[in-house]
Amino acid sequence: MKKMKHCIAFVFCFLSIIKINAQEVDLENIGGNIKENLKKNPFKISGGVSANAIFYSSNVNQNREPFTYFLNGNLNLGLYNWSMPISYSLTNQGSNLGYQVPFKFNRISVSPKYKWVRAHIGDSNMNFSSYTYNGLLFTGLGLELTPDIPFKIALLGGRLNKAVEDDGQQQTIASYKRMGYGAHLKWEKERYKMGLIGFYAKDDLNSLKQSIDDRGITPEENLVLSMLGSFKLLENVEVFAEFSNSGLISDIRAEKGKSSKGIANKFLKNNSSSESFNAYNAGVNFNLKSTSLGIKYERIDPGYRTLGAYYFNNDLENITINTAFNLFKGNVNVSANIGRQRDNLNSAKLKQTNRWVGSINTNVKATDKLMFTATYSNFTMYTNNQLNQFNNLNNNPLALQQPRDSINYKQISQNFNLNANYNLSSRKELTQNINFNYSLNDMVNKENNIVRRGGLNRFHNANLTYSIGLPERSISLATSINYTNMYAASKTTNIWGPSATINKMFMDKKLQTSFGVSYNASTSNAISTKVSNFRLNAGYSPWEKHNFSATIIQLFRNTNQDIPDKKLNELTATLGYNYSF
């Protein structure tokens, strides 16, 4: 309650400052201005609703729900300078799980806005930065103030997780009730930007009747403080940096301990489970007419995390260089980046992993009808791992140095993709197009420069598609052939098959239909599998802004593999309705 009062007082003072610095109002003409605005800004309403029902039937897979529905909608109410977007998402997808989760499947949010003031009420999410609060769904209140002055502010407060008791189900995700609060202050000018971020979250110890320590879950508390900014040194040169410190108490019940290092922990009641982590990045961007170049350094402490994001990568150091340029009057566009990454920053692991990352993407417009796109990436990871970690303990320091029992491990992953598109015809009465796509994924594991059995995985895929259209008859046809070759775990698998799709519009283009069929045959070490797929789609728009849709997918699979369900018969039907206004 105290935190909320402080936030309200802060917002009140902020609004007072804005009012004092606002332009003077013409009191003599205020009545005329109101009448003019009343005429120019009538009541407005817009939005859309959608409803989808999915029916599923299978002779093998019985874990999937036979009937699922999704109701989604957004409504935007506008009155003069006011607007109020309302969105909702309702489904029965999580109603029959048989276990509990700490988040909601059904959501509703309201985001009223008046000029530069916007609120987020209900089930919403905001984004401060990748190190602090990053898109985590909360149920509560958010506020964004973006006046026409350099100072901006964003606030949030609400429930991050609901309390979930341990009911004995293995799938149940037990959780304490968790509340979170955050603020993002920004000062933005033309040549520079600065920002301060604070995010605080804490689990409610009394929200559960019994402990969930057996699940490895303890009540936590977290405060993250961050500073970030950018500055234009020259018109084409910009530098940027961000620093974040996360103070994390992994168990608020632990015994009192010494105050942990870090700025954030100075504002927390530290105990023996308190930890402090840092994350920061800095870089520079050069932007010229047809070329850009960027250099960035990033470091994230081992164990770094906050309670304001779903997932964090940590224990890494990155150095990356990226560039983009075009040649031959824009007909050739190239973008590339290369970087080096390493972990084990605090030398706590038995091994350290180093990784080179590089990629290049090229778009070539050979002629007005022929275009190529090529992409290549290379990821190389290597490490020296000492197999016997007791060598250092048992080694006699007076003895002569002996060779270590170690292994040199290297993993190389390469990806290549080539796409060629040729437009044969683009006339009103006839359109024709040929597209070819090839991709390669190659991964090799080397131990002391030796590729052992099962250490090579290679994936080839090629696809050739021919499409023809008769626009005046509202009909189009596409045929393709697909081939895949996989080598993994010392086994080779070949998959090939054709597919065809025909599209036709009826009733003055109000009814759109399509029918597709595909066949795939795969063979691997005397095991053969055949899959047939039939798809029927229809979309009908009897009136403007109304659309009804239906999709039926029938799949048949046969295999000679010695399994109980050699024959799979699967049917999926979807009915939908969309209305926009």
DSSP secondary structure, 441-453, as one string: EEEEEEETTB--T
Which residues have C-beta within 8 Å of that of residue 234, sequence separation ≥ 6?
Answer: none
Domain that holds residue 173: 46-302+422-580
DSSP secondary structure, 523-552, as one string: EETTEEEEEEEEEEEEEE-SSTTEEEEEEE
pLDDT at 98: 66
Distance in Å from the first CA to the final CA of the chain:
41
Residue 326 lies in a domain: no
Which residues have C-beta within 8 Å of that of residue 10, sequence separation ≥ 6?
Answer: none
Both tokens of residue 404?
């270590």
> Which pairs count as long-range contacts for 88-94, CB under 8 Å and 24+ apart, including other chains?
92/65, 92/67, 92/68, 93/65, 93/68
Integer Cα distance of 64 and 83 in angstroms:
41
Tell me the one-letter amino acid at 13: C
Please choose, from the candidates 316, 314, 317, 320, the residue with its C-alpha nearest in 3D space to the C-alpha of residue 283: 320
Residue 329 lies in a domain: no
Residue 571 lies in a domain: yes
β-pairing, 221-234 vs 237-249, is antiparallel
Residue 559 lies in a domain: yes
Q: Please indicate, yes or no, whether the overall pTM of this predicted structure exceeds 0.85.
A: no
Residue found under tokens 């797929």: 533
pLDDT at 295: 96
Burial class for 541, CB neighbours closer than 10 Å (0-12, 13-18, 19+)? middle
365: Cα separation from own chain's centroid: 31
Which residues partner with 354 through β-bridges?
Answer: 342, 382
Integer Cα distance of 247 and 200 in angstroms:
10
Distances, alpha carbon 498 to alpha carbons 296, 479, 482, 581, in Å: 46, 7, 6, 41
Tell me the one-letter amino acid at 105: F
Integer Cα distance of 182 and 48 in angstroms:
31
pLDDT at 246: 96
Integer Cα distance of 578 and 576 in angstroms:
7
DSSP-derived letter for residue 350 is: S
Residue found under tokens 């040169």: 237
Domain count, the chain: 1
Residue found under tokens 């197999």: 387
Residues 297 and 319 sit within 8 Å (Cβ to Cβ): yes
Residue 476 lies in a domain: yes
pLDDT at 10: 42
Integer Cα distance of 202 and 490 in angstroms:
50
pLDDT at 37: 52
DSSP secondary structure, 259-318, as one string: PPSSSGGGGS--BTTEEEEEEEEEEEEEE-SSEEEEEEEEEE-TT---TTSS----SEEE
Q: Tens digit of pLDDT per residue, the chain (581 long)?
A: 444 444 444 444 444 444 444 443 344 444 455 455 545 556 777 788 899 999 999 888 666 788 888 888 887 877 766 777 888 888 887 666 667 778 777 888 888 888 899 999 999 989 999 999 998 999 999 999 999 999 999 999 999 999 999 888 888 889 999 999 999 999 999 899 999 999 999 999 999 998 899 888 999 999 999 999 999 998 899 999 999 999 999 999 999 877 678 899 999 998 999 999 999 999 999 998 889 999 999 999 999 999 998 888 899 899 999 999 998 888 999 999 999 988 888 888 777 788 888 999 999 999 999 999 999 998 777 665 544 443 443 444 443 343 444 456 567 788 999 999 999 998 888 999 999 999 999 887 766 666 566 567 889 999 999 999 999 899 999 999 999 999 887 789 999 999 999 999 999 889 999 999 999 999 988 789 999 999 999 999 988 889 999 999 999 999 887 776 778 899 999 999 998 87
Residue 347 lies in a domain: no
Residue 442 lies in a domain: yes
Residues 315 and 341 sit within 8 Å (Cβ to Cβ): no
Integer Cα distance of 75 and 90 in angstroms:
15
Residue 530 lies in a domain: yes
Which residues partner with 433 through β-bridges?
Answer: 423, 467
Integer Cα distance of 163 and 175 in angstroms:
5
Please choose, from the candidates 115, 95, 102, the residue with its C-alpha nearest in 3D space to the C-alpha of residue 22: 115
Tell me the residue ranges of DSSP E strands in 60-130: 67-79, 82-91, 107-110, 113-114, 117-124
